[in-house]
Every structure is written in C-alpha cells, then in structure tokens.
C-alpha cells in the first residue's frame, strides 16, 4: 500500500514508529508535515501570524499528487480541527479512506467516528493494528473501528505490545527537512505509573486497565543501538528522553548508564518524579552528563495537588528531590500549573518565594486544562463547573477550557495568575530580595500586562542569562527551522515514491 501520514507542529515519535513498522512490512510511506509556524504550541503561538503562514493549500496539493491508498492522521486535541479540515478537503479529491489515531480519537471515539470525513478510528497503540489493516484490509481488526454505511463496527482492543524491543527503530528520516534530529528525541519506556487527573494518560488506563500503568521497558542495549546509529548518522548535539518518568528502575539505569557513558556520552534531558528521586539518582544522572532534569511540581498547595490533581507527593518529597539535584550539581527545571483552586495570593507568593530559594534554571508555566476523558474533566462535569456547550467545545478540540473559563471570580484568580505569571518566568535570574521588591512595589502588575504571545521572549532572556547550553542549542535549531520555512515553499518534507521520482517538496 501507499500510506500517507499527516502531522502538525513538532516531530511526532508515534508517526515515526508507525511508519517504521509499515516500511518493514514492505509498504511505501510518506509524510506531509504542517510546520505550524507561529502556532506550534511549543515555541511561539500567535493566531494571527499562524493564519498568514499556514501551508494548508500546499498540503492539499501535495496529498492529491501522491495518490495514497490510505490517509493517516495522528491527532491530539490541539490538532483535531486542523486534521478535520485537511481530511474534509481531501475527501473531495482523493478516494482513499481516512483513519484518525492518537490520543484525541482514543478519548472521544464515538464523536470522532461520526464525522463524515473520518472512515476509521485507531484506538490506543496502532503499530500492530495498522500493519494488519495494510495487509488484509479487513474490518475485524482489533483496535480499529470502521464505518459501513450508517453502521459502525466497534472492534475490541488488543493487548498492549509487551516486547517493545521488537519494534523497529523509528523512521526519523520522515522529518529530514528539519534540524530536530541533532537534538535527538528517544523513548525508553511506554506507560506511566501515575494517574494525574489532568493527563491524557488516564484515558489509556480506562482503555487497557491497570496494565497501562506498568512500564514496558526497552533493554539498555536496544536503546544504545538506536543512539549509536543516530549519533553516527545525524551528528547529534544532545539527547532528549521523553519517558514520562526516567530512571525509576535503578537496576536498569545503572546498566544503561555504563553503556551510555561508554558509547554515547552526550548531554541529555529527561523527566523525573520527586517521589522516585534521591541522591543516588541525581549523582548517576550527573555522571551520565544529564544537562537538565524536569520535575512537575505543579503547585505547593498540597490540598490542591492531592484532591484536584491526584498527585500524592508531599512538599517534603519536592524539597528533598530538588536538594538532591543541587548537591549533585544537576541543573533542573520545574513545571507550575495555575489553577482556580489556588486562588489566594498567599499561595502564589509562597510558591514564588520557595522557587527563588532553589537553584533552578527555569520555571515552565501552564494553565490547568481540561482534556477529553480525563478525571479532571469528569470531576468538573460532576460538580457542574462546565456547561454542556463547553464540554462539546473541548471534545471538538475548538478551545481548551482553562481555569479562566470556569465562571470563577477573575479578579481573585485569573487576574492574579496573569499578574504573577511573568514574574515566575523571571525568577531564575532574580535575587530573592528582588522578587520581594517586585511584589512590594507592584512591578509584577506591569509584567502581567505583557501580551501572552510575547512571553516566549521572557523565556529566551532567562535561558541566555542562565547560560543554558542545551536550551541555547534548541533555540538556535528552532530559529533555523523557522528561517528555512520562511524562504522555502511547501510542507518541508520529501515524499517518496512520486510517479516521476521527483520531490514534491523543495529542499
């Protein structure tokens, strides 16, 4: 089969794994990628500029030219409307069936399958299911729902892939137009042992049961094999481990660390969890050349963390993990999530003062968002915090419902967070006395007036001031990609197998 994938924004590891499995089975695979300039949800987000620089027309043109047998969309809630728009246009020109997979279709399968632009839905993991469909074109394939006229065939899910070493290396060349691979993204595990209320991983727990929370782990040698291949091919500058929790299995990590130091020895980034972090782990990561570990602190209000976010670490756990990093000389970032539940200014200020006492390099600020199928959304529905119209908007991917949409007192909640948010971003380059002076003199109110779309520049200032080498490398890479897209037309990815052997995309 000729199978064409579509993705938007940053590199998609899921698409790369699906493509690798299909290529191994002998199918021809292509990718059309919307670079999402100024709407990538990761670097710079501006609705106005995003509409100007969209590649939508070129995407449609390239997809028609490629003459695919199957059109595959990997869909998040943020990209659902974009994917629907492309699929609806292609339905007018291309006879190939359309399949949607990813977290959003898995979360609201009944709603997505009923859209006229969608012929099939793939729930959960797709490697085995998509490979089976490409081989048999049957309608009794587990994990895939089909439409037959007005009827929907709802097939059950298959077990999770137990041996993830059996998967081929991801098809990284699909994103060859971009400089992402010098900062190589790799996964060593699948699954997450936690069940945070706001995270879409909870949807997989509902789908697969407790097995989805048990980490499935690649062997150390398998991961090293991939990194050695990538280091030789792409001349890597650093590595990013995208596991939800890295290094939870100490025996695995000690074996992996020896291989990593011997064969790779590149700076890397990872995610940690304060309940699983101690002095030994901090020292091990430092010896491996870890340049940054990121912790999801979210809030210092333990009641909010426990009752709303379903996170059960204590403030003492947080302090011990961060102290372990400081004593080992291991740089770290922390995440904070603003919520309407922490509406009192003393909670906000206490978190500011605590953060300033630590030696972190960056605070990453998020709004507490409702995603389909999560315990957070279900709880909000039960408490009557969301109307039916708002729930429909969330499930349609039209607009995330942040705390500011909950009908709470904006002056006491949303206004406060916006006012203090910019100050949070600047904390790593301020002294403790300066933070207190900003609050006493009201300077944080001025910072709060900075437009949200320009807050990324505050992050850049902090990263440069803190001399974060990895972050600086990331910034250079992203800037190069933006400039490349400015001066070249097309969707930025070579599509293999065109009829005349030509490239559909310049570059």
What's 1-39 look like in SS3?
CEEEEEEECCCCHHHHHHHHHHHHCCCEEEEEEECCCCE
pLDDT digits (tens, 9 = 90+) for 236-294: 888 999 999 998 899 999 999 999 999 999 999 999 999 999 999 999 999 999 999 99
Which of helix, strand or coil describes residue 243? coil
Alpha helices in 248-301 (DSSP H): 250-263, 279-287
Question: What pLDDT is recorded for position 497?
Answer: 44
Whole-angstrom Cα distance, residue 227 to residue 10?
20
> What is the Cα 257 distance to its own chain's centre?
25
Give the contacts of 445 (CB within 8 A, at least 6 positions apart): 419
DSSP state of 450: S
Q: DSSP letter string over 30-71?
A: EEEEE--TTB-SSS-B-HHHHHHS--HHHHHHHHHHHT-SEE
Band (pLDDT 50/70/90 cuts) for residue 302 is confident
Which of helix, strand or coil describes residue 268? strand
Spell out a b/e string for 74-100, using b for 16 or more CB atoms within 10 Å of the CB, else e: bbbbbbbebbbebbebbbeebebbbbb
Decide if pLDDT at 151 tops 90: yes
Terminal CA-CA length for the chain: 26
Which residue segments constitute the domains of the chain, with CATH numbers given?
2-162 (3.40.50.2300), 178-368+409-481 (3.80.30.20)
Q: DSSP letter string over 411-475?
A: TTTHHHHHHHHHHHHHGGGS-HHHHHHHHHHTHHHHHTTS-GGGHHHHHHHHHHHTT-HHHHHHH
Question: What pLDDT is recorded for position 40?
Answer: 62
Whole-angstrom Cα distance, residue 198 to residue 367?
11
More confident residue, 455 or 210: 210
Spell out a b/e string for 420-456, using b for 16 or more CB atoms within 10 Å of the CB, else e: bbbbbbbbbbbeeeebeebbeeebbbebbeeeeeebe
Which of helix, strand or coil describes residue 315? helix
CA angle 329, 458, 425 (to 5 degrees): 55
Give the lowest-confidence range in 15-29, 43-57, 62-76, 260-274.
43-57
Whole-angstrom Cα distance, residue 128 to residue 323?
44
Question: What pLDDT is recorded for position 414?
Answer: 39
Whole-angstrom Cα distance, residue 489 to residue 350?
49
pLDDT digits (tens, 9 = 90+) for 18-35: 999 999 999 999 999 887
Tokens (6 digits) for 181: 């691979």
Question: What pLDDT is recorded for position 500?
Answer: 32
- The CA R_g of the chain, rounded to the nearest whole Å, is 23
Reference 240, options 264, 204, 259, 258; nearest CA is: 264
Reference 224, options 275, 264, 274, 180; nearest CA is: 264
Tokens (6 digits) for 310: 């379903």
Question: What pLDDT is recorded for position 507?
Answer: 25
Residue with tokens 């507490």: 368
Average pLDDT over residues 383-412: 65
Reference 2, options 493, 496, 490; nearest CA is: 496
Element (H, E) at 356: helix 345-357
Which of helix, strand or coil describes residue 254? helix
Cα Dmax for the chain: 69
Question: What pLDDT is recorded for position 186?
Answer: 96
Reference 53, options 484, 494, 507; nearest CA is: 484
Band (pLDDT 50/70/90 cuts) for residue 108 is very high
Residue with tokens 């069936």: 97
Element (H, E) at 264: none
Reference 178, options 40, 60, 57; nearest CA is: 40
Whole-angstrom Cα distance, residue 250 to residue 149?
53
């Amino acid at each position: 089969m000729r199978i064409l994938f579509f993705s938007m924004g940053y590199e998609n590891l899921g698409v790369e794994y699906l493509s690798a499995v299909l290529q191994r089975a002998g199918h021809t695979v292509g990718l059309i990628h919307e670079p999402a300039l100024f709407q990538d949800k990761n670097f710079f987000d501006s609705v106005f500029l995003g509409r100007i620089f969209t590649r939508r027309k070129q995407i449609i043109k390239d997809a028609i030219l490629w003459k695919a047998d199957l059109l595959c969309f990997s869909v998040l809630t943020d990209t659902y409307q974009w994917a629907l728009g492309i699929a609806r246009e292609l339905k007018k020109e291309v006879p190939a069936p359309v399949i949607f997979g990813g977290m959003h279709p898995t979360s609201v399968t009944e709603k997505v399958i009923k859209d006229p632009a969608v012929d099939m839905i793939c729930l959960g993991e797709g490697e085995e299911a998509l490979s089976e469909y490409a081989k048999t074109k049957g309608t009794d394939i587990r994990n895939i729902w089909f439409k037959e006229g007005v009827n929907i065939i709802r097939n059950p899910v298959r077990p999770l892939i137990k041996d993830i070493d059996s998967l081929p290396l991801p098809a990284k060349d699909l994103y060859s137009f971009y400089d992402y691979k010098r900062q190589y993204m790799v996964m060593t595990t699948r699954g997450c042992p936690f069940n945070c209320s706001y995270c879409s991983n909870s949807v997989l727990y509902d789908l697969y049961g407790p097995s989805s929370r048990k980490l499935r782990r690649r062997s150390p040698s398998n991961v090293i094999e991939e990194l050695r291949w990538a280091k030789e091919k792409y001349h890597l500058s650093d590595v990013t481990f995208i596991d939800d929790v890295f290094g939870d299995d100490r025996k695995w990590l000690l074996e992996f660390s020896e291989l990593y130091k011997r064969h790779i020895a590149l700076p890397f980034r990872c995610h940690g969890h304060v309940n699983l972090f101690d002095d030994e782990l901090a020292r091990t990561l430092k010896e491996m050349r870890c340049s940054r570990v990121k912790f999801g602190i979210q809030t210092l209000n333990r009641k909010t963390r426990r009752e709303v976010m379903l996170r059960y670490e204590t403030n003492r756990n947080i302090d011990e993990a961060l102290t372990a990093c400081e004593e080992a000389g291991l740089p770290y970032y922390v995440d904070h999530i603003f919520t309407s539940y922490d509406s009192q200014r003393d909670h906000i200020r206490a978190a500011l003062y605590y953060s300033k006492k630590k030696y972190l390099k960056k605070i990453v600020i998020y709004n507490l968002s409702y995603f389909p199928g999560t315990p957070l959304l279900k709880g909000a529905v039960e408490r009557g915090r969301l109307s039916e119209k708002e729930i429909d908007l969330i499930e349609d991917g039209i607009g995330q419902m942040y705390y500011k949409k909950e009908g709470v007192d904006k002056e006491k909640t949303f206004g406060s967070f916006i006012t203090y948010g910019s100050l949070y971003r600047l904390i790593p380059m301020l002294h403790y006395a300066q933070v207190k002076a900003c609050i006493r003199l009201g300077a944080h109110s001025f910072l709060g007036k900075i437009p949200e779309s320009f807050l990324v520049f505050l992050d850049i200032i902090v990263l440069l001031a803190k001399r974060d080498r990895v972050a600086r490398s990331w910034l250079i890479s992203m800037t190069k990609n933006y400039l490349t897209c400015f001066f070249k037309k097309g969707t930025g990815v070579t599509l293999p197998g065109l009829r005349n052997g030509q490239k559909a995309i310049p570059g």
